Amino acid sequence: MHDFKYVEGELFCEEMRVEEIAPKVGTPFYLYSSKTLVDHYRKLDKAFSSLPHLVCYSLKANSNLAMCKLLAQEGAGADVVSSGELFKALKAGMPAQRIVFAGVGKTEEEIEYALKAQILMLNVESVPELDLINEVAGRLGKKAQVSLRVNPDVDPQTHAYVATGRKENKFGLSMEVARELFERRAEFTHLKMVGVHAHIGSQITSVRPYVEALQKIVVFIKDLERGGIKLEYLNVGGGMGIVYETEIPSTAEEFARALLPLIKQVQAKVILEPGRFIVGNAGILVTRVLYVKKTAVKTFVIVDAGMNDLIRPSLYGTYHEIRPTSGRKGTMPESDKKLIVADIVGPICESGDFFARDREIPEVEGGQLLAIFGAGAYGFSMSSNYNCRPRPPEVLVKGDKFQVIREREKYEDLIRGEV
Ligand code: PLP
């Protein structure tokens, strides 16, 4: 599933020993495997190869240019949710005609930028947004391609913060409103309504919610067809889950096997918007133990990465596997020493600054390196400078070589733009 493996008790990323990289770049740092990234993209691409399809990598998961460039070279398009992401996707070489733009709050400026860049389409989430795109397109003398994002009202069985396809969520249009807009399409003289979009949530491990959503959408599209409205695109969104702990997520083939028969009923080109599935397990965060602090009730392993570097555990209470990057020569870290139960915490001034609570890990001491797995998606991309901490570098491994693909921020970066 990924190319982070222990060989004789030492953690390797592809053919690079993690402990060899650490002194050269300092800690903490993000470490990515190019092979894992590309393999995951190819798996999904291949699974849907029996139909005309487009995999639009979701930049929000990880928008590093080098990573996006690797995916662009594989033929990936991009799913963006801001003009900043659009800027980066274009910079990385993702062709405009393979870029789709979602999000409930696109500004007029962002719409103008997207139309001038001639992206494939905007995924529209509200009636006033549709009106505004029509107006901006008219002003620019363009015909804007749009899909309507529908909210199929299904339970994706994931964390509430990343569930997006239930009717109480802010995303998408109800099927009724979407149908009415398609029927009124002639009124929007500067728009071409080409498709339907749905994204029901993130870290979804079962195909069931997708099938449930798609069944509703297929009925919806067939209904439109009966009314003489033919759509070119069906965007099924992203959200495919990965292994963090003990999950058994459906594979790309299982997704395809469940979804393709439904998609084939409507003969539209399918768009997928995976983020986490492609990049989640392609990255780890490497951090150094600063201190081990024992109190009357707990042991705290204090590390040099904080919630500003990786916020998922603090924000969602999510699990990340954490292991020392080496054991004694020739042994796995776990077989090395006695196990302790500890909270693994960062240096930030918040009690919510933790990576694991009451976690059983091999006894560690100051100076040792820990790998926090599954940090490739929503890791660096959600990082911040909280507590005035310069953000860590990002490092990419290819075979037995590594390259810093984003430098560690400097103190000067902390005051850039301030007066
Ligand atoms: N598409 C849209 C519209 C999204 O909002 C998201 C994530 O929130 C994604 C795709 C990517 O989701 P994931 O990284 O879970 O595949």
Residues 234, 6: Cα–Cα separation, whole Å: 42
For residue 3, what are its two tokens?
């190319």
For residue 380, what are its two tokens?
């660096």
349 is catalytic: yes
Task: Please write the tens of the pLDDT for every residue from 15-25.
Answer: 999 999 999 99
| Amino acid at residue number 229 | I
Catalytic pick among 13, 56, 68, 349: 349
Task: Please write the tens of the pLDDT for every residue from 137-168.
Answer: 999 999 999 999 999 888 777 887 777 877 88
**Does the bond joining 390 to the residue before it have cis omega, within 30 degrees of 0?**
no
Rounded to the nearest angstrom, the distance between the alpha carbon of 162 and the centre of ligand 1 is 9
Residues 303, 339: Cα–Cα separation, whole Å: 18
Rounded to the nearest angstrom, the distance between the alpha carbon of 315 and the centre of ligand 1 is 17
Inter-CA distances, 406 with 32, 66, 172, 235, 385, Å: 12, 9, 34, 32, 15
State the pTM of this model. Answer: 0.96
Contact 31, 349 (CB under 8 A): no
Task: Please write the tens of the pLDDT for every residue from 248-287.
Answer: 999 999 999 999 999 999 989 999 999 999 999 999 999 9
Sign, CA torsion 79/83/86/88: negative
Rounded to the nearest angstrom, the distance between the alpha carbon of 190 and the centre of ligand 1 is 28
Q: Which of 123, 124, 196, 199 to mutate to test the pocket of ligand 1 (most atoms within 8 A of CB)?
A: 199
For residue 212, what are its two tokens?
């449930």
Q: Which of 63, 71, 79, 149 to mutate to test the pocket of ligand 1 (most atoms within 8 A of CB)?
A: 79
Please give the DSSP secondary-structure letter assigned to residue 14: T
Task: Go through the domains of the chain in sequence order and give each one's CATH number.
Answer: 4-32+280-414 (2.40.37.10), 63-274 (3.20.20.10)
Please give the DSSP secondary-structure letter assigned to residue 407: P
pLDDT at 330: 60
Task: Report the candidate in 304, 242, 239, 235 with the shortest Cα–Cα distance to residue 268.
Answer: 235
For residue 18, what are its two tokens?
């993690």
Residue 167 CB-density burial (10 A; 0-12 exposed, 13-18 middle, 19+ buried): exposed
For residue 215, what are its two tokens?
């069944």
Q: Is the pLDDT of residue 329 over 60?
A: no
